[in-house]
């Protein structure tokens, strides 16, 4: 009888969504972490599915190694050197070329299984995951976070675990993050530390989240001293202390964040082919792509995928700080209109600033583009807006450009030619996609960070009369099972 803790031999045949390899032990389906297709492994069962229909396990011995297997230099994440490796790098034991092949297979499977696509469709048989260029001697992540243990030391959690394993340098982080040496500090009143370090070399930002019951203002001086002991003396670094996520809710109030150093945000720069650059303010807790090469690649690929012409109208839903808004504005030019919708108050404020009078996120071609930033959840914004007219042109009263959403916010007066979606991991969902179908753009460009969500949403769009016209994967999360996908949908 197989139970938790049992060790079994499993022949693995494919990679599943989520990072595990799939195989069978007799009739039992097994999802095995740290395994690879083609391998026979000895695996320890960690949990059983309802009714014992499947097992989640971890490979403890590789009996027949795959040629796609490699050793990983970072000991805290190497399952061959530690009993409890940290999470977050679950593909690190796989050669980079093979990682991309497995990720492409996962995207195909989700589009077939959840999206209802034919496995023989050329879009799927030709689908690849493209690497992103990055310096080979540096890491790729410009955003990282650590948990903080009871002694105030930095660490990471193991896979699906709550323990905190001490770590120091992070090989996947860019050099500017490791140079901060935050692991030398003792952060006793802090539960989590996030760092954002722009790849362009602009000053990084350290965001410290206080433990429950601690008021940021009361620990600001101590945190400033601790930062001074860790940081290089010549390093310009911003630092912000945030209250615990649930702090103050029982009293109907919440302590305010405190800026300890710098301005409380970072400035990201996007290099353009002509040698100029765009600048984007991103506040503490705001969203920006993790991979150092991702912003430029997405800016180019999404802009091209829209097929927008000068004077047209585009909507950027889940707009973040405005990276793709800038790409759309450059495409539609001065006579065009872009509506940017973002639900996060911090990130929506960043987008409003970036395209306002003091912002520098417009190309010369987009200097006069009407850009309307709306702070609202996408589903709520679409439900509130009426269906625009095909005859109307433009977007809203230009006096109201770059205003945050409120009950007095303008509404679009013309149907968008193209809608760009870059939703969070759960995807856009049925209601948003059904509403967009009613509104009637000619094209939807969908940027997805989760193949299963893309598969589900592809199925919804097919039911609403859309077809997948283009799809490609982007390896924006090397050494992990995560993958970005760019998909273009047109009317069937």
Q: Where are the domains of the chain?
A: 7-69, 143-265, 267-491
Note the CATH architecture for domain 267-491: 3-Layer(aba) Sandwich (3.40)
pLDDT at res. 36: 98
- Residues 418-439 have pLDDT tens digits of 999 999 999 999 999 999 999 9
Burial of residue 389, with CB atoms counted within 10 A of its CB: 0-12 exposed, 13-18 middle, 19 or more buried? exposed
Could you give the CA distance from residue 320 to residue 256 in angstroms, rounded to a whole number? Answer: 23
Domain 7-69 = CATH 2.40.50.140: yes
Q: Please choose, from the candidates 241, 422, 453, 256, the residue with its C-alpha nearest in 3D space to the C-alpha of residue 328.
A: 422
Q: Is the pLDDT of residue 408 over 50?
A: no
The predicted pLDDT at position 252 comes to 56
Q: What is the pLDDT of residue 455?
A: 99
User: What is the rounded average pLDDT of the residues 251-271?
Assistant: 88
- The CATH architecture one would assign to domain 143-265 is Beta Barrel (2.40)
The verdict on whether 230 is a catalytic residue reads: no
Q: What is the pLDDT of residue 405?
A: 37
pLDDT grade, residue 406 (50/70/90)?
very low
Mean pLDDT for the stretch of residues 172-182: 94
Burial of 3 (0-12, 13-18, 19+ CB in 10 A): exposed
Q: What is the pLDDT of residue 411?
A: 82
Give the integer Cα–Cα distance in Å for 249 and 310. Answer: 48
- Res 407: pLDDT: 37
Q: How confident is the model at residue 401 (pLDDT cuts 50, 70, 90)?
A: very low
Given the residues 30, 200, 230, 449, select the one marked as catalytic. 449
- 3-state percent helix, strand, coil for the chain, nearest multiple of 5: 25, 30, 45
pLDDT value for 168: 87
Same topology between domain 7-69 and domain 267-491: no
pLDDT in tens, 282-318: 999 999 999 999 999 999 999 999 999 999 999 999 9
Max mean pLDDT among 117-126, 130-139, 238-247, 389-398 falls in 117-126
- Residue 394 pLDDT > 60, yes or no? no
* Mean pLDDT value of segment 226-240: 89
Question: In degrees rounded to 5, what are phi and psi of residue 104?
Answer: -60, -40
Would you state the pLDDT for residue 256? 87
pLDDT for the residue 400: 37
Q: Please enumerate in sequence order all residues whose Cβ is within 8 A of that of 311, keeping only pairs 6 or more positions apart, or say none.
A: 332, 333, 335, 336
């Amino acid at each position: 009888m197989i139970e938790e803790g049992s060790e079994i031999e499993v022949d693995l045949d494919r990679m599943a969504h989520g990072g595990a390899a799939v195989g069978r032990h007799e009739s039992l389906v097994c999802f095995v972490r740290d395994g690879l297709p083609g391998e026979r492994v000895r695996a320890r069962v960690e949990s059983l599915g309802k009714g014992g229909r499947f097992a989640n396990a971890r490979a403890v011995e590789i009996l027949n190694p795959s040629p796609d297997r490699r050793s990983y230099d970072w000991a805290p994440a190497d399952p061959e050197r530690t009993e409890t490796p940290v999470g977050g790098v679950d593909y690190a034991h796989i050669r980079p070329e093979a990682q991309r092949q497995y990720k492409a297979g996962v995207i195909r499977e989700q589009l077939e299984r959840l999206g209802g696509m034919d496995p023989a469709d050329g879009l799927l048989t030709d689908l690849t995951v493209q690497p992103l260029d990055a310096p080979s001697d540096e890491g790729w992540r410009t955003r990282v976070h650590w948990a903080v243990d009871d002694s105030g030391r930095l660490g990471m959690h193991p896979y699906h675990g709550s323990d905190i394993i001490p770590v120091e340098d992070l090989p996947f982080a860019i050099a500017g993050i490791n140079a901060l040496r935050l692991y030398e500090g003792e952060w006793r009143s802090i539960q989590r530390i996030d760092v954002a370090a722009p790849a362009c070399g602009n000053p990084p930002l350290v965001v410290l989240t206080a433990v429950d019951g601690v008021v940021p203002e009361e620990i600001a001086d101590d945190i400033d001293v601790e930062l001074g002991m860790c940081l290089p003396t010549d390093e310009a670094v911003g630092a912000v202390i945030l209250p615990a996520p649930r702090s103050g809710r029982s009293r109907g109030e919440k302590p305010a964040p405190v800026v300890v150093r710098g301005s409380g945000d970072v400035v990201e720069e996007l290099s353009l082919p002509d040698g100029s650059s765009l600048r984007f303010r991103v506040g503490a807790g705001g969203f920006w792509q993790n991979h150092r090469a991702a912003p430029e690649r997405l800016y180019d690929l999404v802009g091209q995928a829209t097929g927008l012409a000068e004077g047209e109208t585009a909507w950027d839903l889940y707009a973040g700080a405005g990276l793709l808004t800038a790409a759309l504005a450059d495409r539609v030019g001065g006579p065009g209109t872009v509506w940017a919708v973002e639900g996060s108050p911090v990130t929506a404020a960043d987008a409003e600033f970036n395209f306002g009078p003091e912002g520098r996120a417009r190309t010369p071609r987009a200097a006069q583009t009407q850009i309307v930033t709306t702070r609202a959840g996408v589903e709520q914004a679409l439900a509130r807006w009426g269906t625009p007219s095909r005859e109307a042109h433009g977007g809203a009263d230009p006096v109201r450009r770059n205003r945050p959403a409120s009950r007095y916010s303008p509404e679009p007066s013309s149907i968008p030619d193209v809608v760009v979606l870059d939703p969070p991991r759960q995807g856009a969902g049925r209601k948003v996609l059904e509403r967009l179908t009613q509104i009637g753009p000619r094209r939807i460009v969908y940027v997805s960070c989760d193949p299963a969500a893309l598969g589900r949403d592809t199925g919804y769009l097919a039911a609403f009369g859309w077809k997948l016209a283009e799809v490609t994967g982007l390896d924006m999360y090397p050494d992990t099972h995560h993958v970005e996908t760019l998909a273009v949908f047109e009317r069937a």
